[in-house]
Chains A and B, each alone.
Chain A
């Protein structure tokens, strides 16, 4: 299970416990995770530790991953859907060093997926754990800055204010303009901030076979959605929740059913649209799907000054 102190670290030239955190801290965090799973959507305060990266860079996510990681786990880390951004690479390498566990870019092969701001396109399987990095865990924070007040509102199920935000959107824009960090009602009881994932990803939380654990390191909160939990996006009867639709398809794999990123190619405004989920895109390309401009990205990299 867990390696003895210093064993793994020493092998790699570091004097750390398996997965960096000491066993007592892991135990404390696991207790909090259990509580969070027992009360879906409820924000549980915890003693957030100092991690070797600044607040705002995923300290919460790393603490969860460190606390639940086992030698047999396979870890995938994505940032905005991509495995190859700086942060995703850094975090993946960090765990490879302090835990010597296997890592992967393939969603289907991962047992733990740590993510910032996206949920993978491919449906998750039973036994998979999503660890989600959260900046502001309190969904009502913008409208109600007092922590005492928001805690009471959650305790007393007073969620009128959440609908006020949606009302304001409709009043100003004619529709609910919130497109990310879209508030959801979990298990019919707690309103939760699903982190700044696009609303495109909200349906993936509903009745999933996987487990979702959310953690805000700076704000010191953990919350969770266990498998097969109802997660419903808030809306009005006459303005129901709607997914955005894309007029473009992915230039690399041709998918019109995935969340797309817009990539600017040069300083003359040339742009193309590609899947945000790099693994999803790669799987499709490997499976023979072709987009409108499959070599565009490679060409852009070559042509970069």
Chain B
């Protein structure tokens, strides 16, 4: 089943601060993502992998094209949808794991991970229990659960980020270098999470700079620079 359809997507950046120079990044991208697959985005640095991924999350704003998401049975073009619709899609259908955790002061890591469940109406105790289970899987020691992640190591922060991204089991997941700051053991834990997601029928699009991980989790590849599958 197709979960996401990227159609004729083009994006450039106009840097007004630098005299209005235009940087074209994506040119006429077309990509369908199916349930249960993991599409690995390929391309050299600067080729627009991250730009494409962020556009798929409506974090970036392409100049032309559509990004249709299967949301609760209907197709929603998140590029032209109202902000509140996009937020609803993100809440229930479209998950995103960024490369770095955006730290909010004072909020303990357990709450950071539990938040996506609270947002879809799951009550506090249950949400925290599931967050705890997720943190355990990613081997974050319990003594860190009540602390805000600001003082954690890069790897720990990223694992909190991953826990938060995977906890609500979104039908579509976008992963931007999820394992880049992790050691082998933690990478393995994340790979397991991705496998489980695939088995559930999750449609995944990811950027993985580690070739091993790419081979393990990827079901097919898409070259962004060439704007076509390889």
Contact present between A and B (CB < 8 A): no
Residues of A at the B interface (CB closer than 8 Å) are none
